[in-house]
Structure 1
Amino acid sequence: MNDDVSKRRLGRGLAALIGEMDQPVVADSEKPNVSPDRMVPIEFVSRNPRNPRRFFDESELHDLASSIRQHGIVQPVVVRTLSVNQHEIIAGERRWRAAQLAGLVEIPVIVRNVDDKTALEIAIVENVQRSDLNPLEEALGYEQLIAEYGYTQNDLGEIIGKSRSHVANSLRLLKLPEPVRDLLAGGSLSAGHARALVPTSDPAALARTIVSKGMSVRDAERLAQNDIKAQSEPKLAAQLRDHKDSDTLALERTLSDTLGLDVTINHKATGGQIRISYKSLDQLEEICRLLERR
């Protein structure tokens, strides 16, 4: 796909294609890319291993399965053909899973001939537009498009119909450690909770506190700000402590040259410290001899 075609597709937005995918449109005769509705054996359909969605609520699947037993699958599953009698899901994995629970032997599909890149884009858009992805799955999907296909955050914003800042904030969640990611994926933490934890010193510990106390996002933000402030105070104190005038620095160099060892002077108005660093017992003995002679 050349750049011009890619830009036109981006400008149009894959969100618009979701509606088209779910309709049995007759394709252009010269370049067919959509096949009308048809029924295929369910064993001929497999999940897309690159689908960003990983979590499916079991109770919701059983509820959908009950509905399918009564009414059938109202909306076809969108697939692409991999080989004879082998189709891979582009959109509709939840319906496919529920159909298996319902005991269906065949399901309605729409076949759409797309490449790996477009299939991944459509899977992400379809799930994002329907709020089917948890925040971590959404972020991992964005990361996959960026890593494998060189998308920018602006490109992704155009595709999914979100702002660039939304994409950036989603990607920030991937900086969190695994225990916090697990809480986020399981729904114990919201994206707002998790984003507040990114710059903190111990996100996992703070996440446990947030969950155990049932904190709101606003409370979590205050907790995170207190942690960040606690981190910065020792650094500021160290910077103030380490700020030395030229006379003190000159004296440090003179003593270091005389002893052949590193000498640090921490001078204050009320007093101070001289620290002599040594690396061996021989150096320590030499310091002791010098002090005894004085």
Structure 2
Amino acid sequence: MAKATKKQALGRGLSALLKDPDNDIKSAEDKNADKLVGHIVELEMSSIEVNPFQPRTSFNEDSLKELASSIRELGVIQPITVRKLDFGKFQLVSGERRFRASKLVGLDSIPAYIRIANDQESLEMALVENIQRQDLDPIEISLSYQRLIDEIQLTQEQLSERIGKNRSTIANYLRLLKLDPIIQTGMRDGFLSMGHGRTLININDTQKQLEIYEKILQKSLSVRETEQLVRELNAEGKPASAISKKAAVPKTYKKGIKEFTEYLGAKVDVKVTKKGSGKLTIPFSSEEDFERIKKLIRGEE
């Protein structure tokens, strides 16, 4: 018989605490809260609602079926995490794939860690937990970063510390949200890589972005081929002298240009004269982007 039909012997004693309305635990200071919070308890599936703060909006059906098959044979190995709402009601913080797969199997209950958290803490836990996953697409990651910044009121520097990512990496993800929605959808569906997206950001004209996007799909262009196409597009209409000057940037400057670009999250351009003097150009796409770059230069983020 499939193991999914067997109820795991987890938190059986603790379950009694959850069914006593006269001693309902609502905060970490309540009596017996220490016996419940942070422990694994077997919860009825019907008592758990999905997290409205879940940053992931799509789940691969084939992947869910594979997980469901594993759960059918082995049970739920890693408990989900929930936060307590009202009496007998809980909300997912993390583990929605396990929760959905368990529903596919037909489980009546699931092992869960119980936490007590307010909406902001729940949002932060859900977002940070999901950011650490390996199978999120670049746009999902970008949206999660943006939500943490907007709704938890974090700076890019604080976000960098929370999730252990370089500030320049975060800035590069956030810039993807400036792409046309059609291109963002293409990235979410796996037609474009993050490298393609970062290259397309350097095209200011949205219509031109979409034209290049179509060429990428039609000709299965690599990131390097796309970069060349964008360089040619941006060079159109410029005087030949300007193009030759750009091509003549000494190799010794190229590493510095790359470091500037990664740190500022903007395609930095350098022009050098024969005498060795030059000019550094930092593009920005909006007033908000200008302020972001200014803060980076000042070291305020």
TM-score tier after normalising by the smaller chain length = 0.5 to 0.7
The offset of 1:120, in angstroms, is: 2.1
Q: Please give the alpha-carbon distance, in whole angstroms, between the structure 2 residues aligned to 1:231 and 1:102.
A: 61
Match of residue 52 from structure 2 = 49
The offset of 1:204, in angstroms, is: 1.9
Equivalent of residue 62 in structure 2, options 51, 56, 59: 59
1:181 and 2:184 equivalent? yes
The offset of 1:187, in angstroms, is: 1.1
Match of residue 129 from structure 2 = 126
Equivalent of residue 219 in structure 2, options 202, 208, 213: 213
Closer/same/farther in 2, CA of residues 138 and 40 from structure 1, 3 Å limit: same
Moved over 6 A (4+): 28-31
Match of residue 224 from structure 1 = 230
Equivalent of residue 41 in structure 2, options 17, 38, 42: 38
Closer/same/farther in 2, CA of residues 123 and 231 from structure 1, 3 Å limit: farther
In structure 2, give the amino acid aligned to 1:47: V
Equivalent of residue 80 in structure 1, options 63, 78, 83: 83
**What CA deviation, in whole Å up to 9, does each residue of 1:112-158 have, x standing for no partner?**
11222222222222222221321111111111121122211111111
Match of residue 196 from structure 1 = 199
SS in 2 for 1:49: coil
Q: Please give the alpha-carbon distance, in whole angstroms, between the structure 2 residues aligned to 1:132 and 1:84.
A: 34
In structure 2, give the amino acid aligned to 1:74: I
Q: Please give the alpha-carbon distance, in whole angstroms, between the structure 2 residues aligned to 1:211 and 1:186.
A: 12
Equivalenced residues, count: 211
In structure 2, give the amino acid aligned to 1:148: E
Closer/same/farther in 2, CA of residues 231 and 129 from structure 1, 3 Å limit: farther
Q: Please give the alpha-carbon distance, in whole angstroms, between the structure 2 residues aligned to 1:134 and 1:116.
A: 25
Equivalent of residue 167 in structure 2, options 159, 164, 167: 164
Closer/same/farther in 2, CA of residues 132 and 34 from structure 1, 3 Å limit: farther
Instruction: Specify every segment of 5 or more residues in structure 1 that has no aligned partner in the other structure, as ranges.
Output: 1-23, 237-294
Instruction: Specify every segment of 5 or more residues in structure 2 that has no aligned partner in the other structure, as ranges.
Output: 1-10, 12-27, 243-301
SS in 1 for 2:215: helix
Q: TM-score, normalised by structure 1?
A: 0.66
SS in 1 for 2:140: helix
Q: Confirm or deny: 8 A CA contact 1:37 1:110 kept in the other structure.
A: yes
The offset of 1:193, in angstroms, is: 0.8
SS in 1 for 2:57: coil
| Bigger mean CA offset, 172-181 vs 43-52 | 43-52
Q: Please give the alpha-carbon distance, in whole angstroms, between the structure 2 residues aligned to 1:231 and 1:103.
A: 63
The offset of 1:175, in angstroms, is: 0.2
In structure 1, give the amino acid aligned to 2:230: A
In structure 1, give the amino acid aligned to 2:70: S
In structure 1, give the amino acid aligned to 2:211: A
Larger CA Rg, structure 1 vs 2 = 1
Match of residue 95 from structure 2 = 92
In structure 1, give the amino acid aligned to 2:45: I
The offset of 1:231, in angstroms, is: 6.3
The offset of 1:229, in angstroms, is: 2.0
The offset of 1:232, in angstroms, is: 5.2
Closer/same/farther in 2, CA of residues 34 and 217 from structure 1, 3 Å limit: farther
Q: Confirm or deny: 8 A CA contact 1:124 1:138 kept in the other structure.
A: no
In structure 2, give the amino acid aligned to 1:67: S
Closer/same/farther in 2, CA of residues 40 and 232 from structure 1, 3 Å limit: farther
Q: Please give the alpha-carbon distance, in whole angstroms, between the structure 1 residues aligned to 2:238 and 2:139.
A: 29
Superposition CA RMSD, Å: 2.5
